[in-house]
Amino acid sequence: MTGIPKTHPRYHSLIARENIVEGVNKGITSMQGLVAQGRGECFDYLLGERTVPSALLAEKITSALLLLADRPVISVNGNTSALVPEKMVELASVTGASLEVNLFHRTEERVSRIISHLESFGATRVLGARGDGRLDLEHARAIVDQEGIYSADVVLVPLEDGDRCQKLVEMGKTVIAIDLNPFSRTSKTATLTIVDNVSRAMANMISYSQQFEKYSQEELEEIADHFDNSTFLSEAVGELMENLKNQ
């Protein structure tokens, strides 16, 4: 890894790049994942590399939804396992969610590498290797676990592709996407989209979930009551435009 001084003004972004490259070298991230990260970085720049207020609210609502769910699942891909392995393990543990590996560029070897990688950060049980359930899609993201994503009621899908997101919504699930691009099909189809960097989003959701652990069901329901994804997306676009105007 290149030595990046903590004082560098773009430290976090550069570390993320290093982590993604290391993910590719370890065989957990796909080469295509590098391109996806680049697209994300661009939108993060436009948003000012910060969590905008509407994203923070979406993170608060998501934490409540995960705690209220009967069968919550956090979907893991090659990019998130390189960028936020520890945070995903922690969020799953605080909310009682399962972790499930689900890959667009799926090979059984990559699935098992990601599972071992998450285990090295303390995960005790990671789903995704069994692949005994099918979504009605023509690519490898159709392969899911029956006891995981297939039967989940709430699914958190960081860096998802649009058609699986749509399929999961059609199955009646509450689907929460984390996607820095407010224009993507994923962002538009999800039940709720967090327009934020996955790294900041995960950290905020861990704090909210810890804070909410003692909340009653009624209190959580009040937080997660009534939200409209399109307002979250237009607020993110508004922030982006303001940022551009102020340059």
C-alpha to C-alpha distance for 171 and 164, rounded to whole angstroms: 11
Piece of 7-15, 35-43, 176-184, 234-242 that binds Mg ion (CB under 5 A): 176-184
204 annotated to bind ligand: no
From the list ligand ATP, Mg ion, none, pick the one residue 27 interacts with, judged by a Cβ distance below 5 to 8 Å according to partner type.
none
Is residue 95 a contact point for ligand ATP (CB under 6 A)? no
Asked if 168 interacts with ligand ATP (CB under 6 A), we say: no
Burial code of 67-87, b = ≥16 C-beta within 10 A, e = fewer?
Answer: bbbebbbbbbbbbbbbbbbeb
Q: How many Cα neighbours within 13 Å face the side chain of 129? A: 10
Residue 198 marked in a binding site: yes
Q: Which of 23, 40, 78, 148 binds ligand ATP (CB under 6 A)?
A: 40
Residue 159 engages ligand ATP in binding (rule: CB under 6 A) = yes
Does 51 bind Mg ion (CB under 5 A)? Our answer is: no
Q: Which is nearer to Mg ion, 29 or 209 (CB)?
A: 29
Burial class for 155, CB neighbours closer than 10 Å (0-12, 13-18, 19+): buried
CA distance linking residue 219 with residue 207, whole number of Å: 17
Element containing residue 72 per DSSP (H, E)? strand 72-76
What DSSP state is assigned to residue 73? E
Asked whether residue 126 is marked as a ligand-binding residue, the answer is: no
List residues near Mg ion by CB under 5 A. Answer: 161, 184, 186
Binding site for ligand ATP (CB under 6 A): 36-37, 39-40, 43, 83, 159, 161-162, 178-181, 184-186, 197-198
Q: Which residues are annotated as a binding site?
A: 17, 39, 179-181, 185-186, 197-198
